Amino acid sequence: MGRVWVGLMLLTSLSSFGIYRDHFSWIHGLSVFTLVMLALGVRAAREGRVRAHRNIMAGTYAWGLIVTGLFTLLPNRLLGHALWSTLGAVLGSGR
């Protein structure tokens, strides 16, 4: 499962560089962070440093996935705008 997760995170992080309007954003910085942390986590696992591996991977999950996902939902982002305008239409229609 860990290898699959690393592979998917690698794919997701690398594919994020193909998603931009006219410049890269701070979210792409988190993709770089994720790539670096994945490399460090895999290295720790190969060296048998289980605690370091566990901490690195948990931190990569928290910062590279949860934080990026939450900031993607800001109203000025494409997905955030779609979500909040849809929720506004749904919630506003009951008045």
Alpha helices in the chain (DSSP H): 2-15, 26-46, 50-61, 68-72, 78-92
pLDDT in the model for residue 50: 97
Domain count, the chain: 1
Q: Who contacts 84 (Cβ-Cβ below 8 Å, separation ≥6)?
A: 73, 75
- Residue 10 has φ and ψ, to the nearest 5°, of -60, -50
Q: Count CB-CB contacts under 10 A for residue 57.
A: 22
pLDDT in the model for residue 94: 53
- Domain containing 33: what range? 2-92
pLDDT in the model for residue 88: 79
Average pLDDT along the chain, 95 residues, taken 10 residues at a time: 93 87 79 92 97 94 78 83 81 57
pLDDT in the model for residue 13: 87
For 47, counting Cβ atoms within 10 Å of its Cβ (0-12 exposed, 13-18 middle, 19+ buried), the class is exposed
